[in-house]
Amino acid sequence: MGADAQGKPLFTLVGSSAANGDGRVGIGIPTITTYKGQPGTGILWITGPVLGLRAFNAVPKDGVLTPIALPPTGGLNKFLRPAFGDGRLYISDSKGNIICLGSPVALPLNCTQPVDFGEVSLFF
């Protein structure tokens, strides 16, 4: 964003997504997050009542926003903006459920070496 030589507003398109939208009213406010403000860590989050939560790398590659794989959330509330805090993302779906993505605790295993769990019974 900026202004041209005459002072008129100017917007330069730097990227777009090849992904389809929901095709209806209710898309949420696009939100961008970063990891501690570090360059190249931006993620663009978009919610929709049909396609649910979607994420893209915020810096386009060759003019295209690349998608980031997420677990499916199903349809979300209209005009929803994700809430972020303490390394987590919170959204609500159209059935009244609150969905949280992220890690609530430290990882329980340090997998730098093989782990032997001994004998494990399997029931089918």
Q: Domain tally for the chain? A: 1
Which domain covers residue 72, as residue numbers? 22-101
Tell whether the model's pLDDT for residue 117 goes beyond 90: no
123 domain-assigned: no
Q: Please name the amino acid found at residue 22.
A: D
Whether the model pTM is above 0.85: no
113 domain-assigned: no
12 domain-assigned: no
14 domain-assigned: no
76 domain-assigned: yes
Q: Which pLDDT belongs to residue 109?
A: 59
Q: pLDDT category, 120, cuts 50, 70, 90?
A: low
Tell whether the model's pLDDT for residue 58 goes beyond 60: yes
Chain segment 66-99, per-residue pLDDT in tens: 999 999 888 898 898 999 988 889 998 888 888 8
